[in-house]
Amino acid sequence: MNVFLWTVLAILAAAFAMSGAAKAIQPKDQLAEKYVWMHDVSQGTVRFIGVMELLGAIGLIVPAVTGIAPVLSPVAGTGLAVLLVLAAATHIRRKEPSGVVLSGAAPHRRGRPTVAADARGPRRRLDRSDVARRDGGGAFRD
């Protein structure tokens, strides 16, 4: 299961990193050919979206790999999920149903977008000592 989660995180991070890099580096005129919504926003907004996608991609992987501030991985995943919801809202406002489908393409699990759910990173297997740490609500404490 850990290999699967790391694979999903790597694919999500790569997708957001490539999209973010394109938006952060390329001029708006070049991007307008690919993204029709670019005509409605400023160059600064496009750069901001690109930088947020890049930071989210880095935040999905780096804290989980290094073990430094691992709380940032779910924060990055939640930020990317919010970005996807806002993108879907923009496409709805512009009456672009195909854009809504693409923005919400990540399948949902337990009511949360996959990005936010998987951003917690791969979990270790539970052993018998974990049963002793179980609190009354059924959650495990770290």
Backbone angles phi, psi at 139, to 5 degrees: -95, 155
Q: Cα 110 to the chain's mean position, in Å?
A: 16
pLDDT value of residue 33: 84
pLDDT value of residue 102: 57
Residue linked to tokens 């939640």: 78
**Could you tell me the two tokens for 6?**
């790391």
Q: What is the pLDDT of residues 71-129, one digit of tens each?
A: 899 999 999 999 999 988 888 888 877 666 655 554 433 344 444 444 445 554 444 44
Nearest CA-CA partner of 10 in 93, 136, 119, 92 = 119
CB 35 within 8 A of CB 71: no
Residue 79: burial class (beta carbons within 10 Å; 0-12, 13-18, 19+): buried
CB 119 within 8 A of CB 77: yes
pLDDT value of residue 107: 41
| Helical spans, DSSP H, in 67-127 | 72-93, 97-103, 114-118
The count of other CB atoms within 10 Å of the CB of residue 90 is 16
Q: What is the pLDDT of residues 26-82, one digit of tens each?
A: 988 888 888 888 888 889 999 999 999 999 999 999 998 898 988 899 999 999 999
Please provide the distance, in angstroms rounded to a whole number, between the alpha carbons at the two ends of the chain.
20
131 band by pLDDT with thresholds 50, 70 and 90: very low
Say yes or no to pLDDT of 142 above 50: no
